Amino acid sequence: MQPTSLRLERLTVGELEAVDLSVSPGDIVCLSGASGSGKSRLLRAVADLEPHGGEVWLAGQAQSTIPAHRWRRQVMLVPAESQWWSDRVGEHFSDGVEDGDLEALGFEREVMSWQVGRLSTGEKQRLSLLRAVSREPRVLLLDEPTANLDDATRDRVEHWLASRIESRGWPTLWVAHDRGQIVRVADRHLRIEGSRLLVQEAAWT
């Protein structure tokens, strides 16, 4: 599928002033801000999971003209806390999964037969990223995707994500607190301060 841009037009949610933002194919825009500043709500509005004002565009498609479930299939949110609805891991991967991706994230294929209940928090986080990516969306919205991982695993997941985003050309919004991570992955860095979304001059500021 042809890579496309994501555009937020006068988007309002919660206390946040209207946001205008374009994200080009393959670009990673990091969002930071204090706890409770509205980062997750902004992602949820872009995914059409929360009432909001304004419009979101994916190429020529307006969010308001598309049924929410179809929009979310293309504009894929990976929340900070993953959701699981069946007993076994493999039942959540109806689109299949590549051995190379499992290996890159530190798993063997056997993980597909595991009970979800035995997964650690970090395993859940890595598998929920893999599940989202395996569905081949057109846009990724990542809410603190490496928050529960040790440094070595974080580096591995970060590298895997960034190269997949680049190769597929997915415009990506990535909520991050870690300055080092923002420096490593961001093409742009926006920070929520009060009710405003401010552009940080350099990705590392």
Applying CB under 6 A, which residues contact ligand ATP?
14, 33, 35-41
- State in angstroms the smallest separation of the CB of 146 from ligand ATP: 14
Give the residue with the Cβ less far from ligand ATP, 97 or 192: 192
Nearest-5° angle of CA 155, CA 161, CA 164?
Answer: 140
- State in angstroms the smallest separation of the CB of 34 from ligand ATP: 7
Q: How far out from the chain centre does Cα 1 lie?
A: 19
- State in angstroms the smallest separation of the CB of 152 from ligand ATP: 24
Give the residue with the Cβ less far from ligand ATP, 41 or 92: 41
Give the residue with the Cβ less far from ligand ATP, 138 or 189: 189
CB 183 within 8 A of CB 176: no
- State in angstroms the smallest separation of the CB of 82 from ligand ATP: 14
Element (H, E) at 122: helix 121-134
Give the residue with the Cβ less far from ligand ATP, 40 or 74: 40
- Tell me how far apart the alpha carbons of residues 48 and 153 are, in angstroms, rounded to a whole number: 31
- Tell me how far apart the alpha carbons of residues 42 and 30 are, in angstroms, rounded to a whole number: 12
The amino acid that residue 104 corresponds to is A
